[in-house]
Amino acid sequence: MLSKSQAKIFFLGGTIVTFAIFLGLSWHTLSTEVPKNTHEENLTEAVVRGKHLWESNNCMGCHTILGEGAYYAPELTKVYDRRGEGYIKSVLMSSGPWAPRGRKMVAYNMSEEEAQDMVSFFKWIGETDLNGFPPEPDLKQQN
Interval 83-122: pLDDT, tens: 999 999 999 998 888 777 777 888 899 999 999 999 999 9
**What confidence score (pLDDT) does residue 140 get?**
72
| Gap between the Cα atoms of 126 and 40, Å rounded | 13
| Whether residues 17 and 58 fall in one domain | no
**What confidence score (pLDDT) does residue 1 get?**
83
| Whether residues 34 and 49 fall in one domain | no
| Whether residues 49 and 18 fall in one domain | no
**What confidence score (pLDDT) does residue 133 get?**
67
| Whether residues 63 and 34 fall in one domain | no
| Whether residues 60 and 10 fall in one domain | no
| Whether residues 26 and 89 fall in one domain | no
| Whether residues 10 and 54 fall in one domain | no
Question: Is the C-alpha dihedral spanning 22, 40, 62, 141 positive or negative?
Answer: negative
Which has the higher per-residue pLDDT, 68 or 130? 68
Which has the higher per-residue pLDDT, 71 or 80? 80
Number of structural domains found in the chain: 2
Q: Using a pLDDT cut of 70, give the percent of the chain over it.
A: 97
Q: Which domain holds residue 67?
A: 44-135
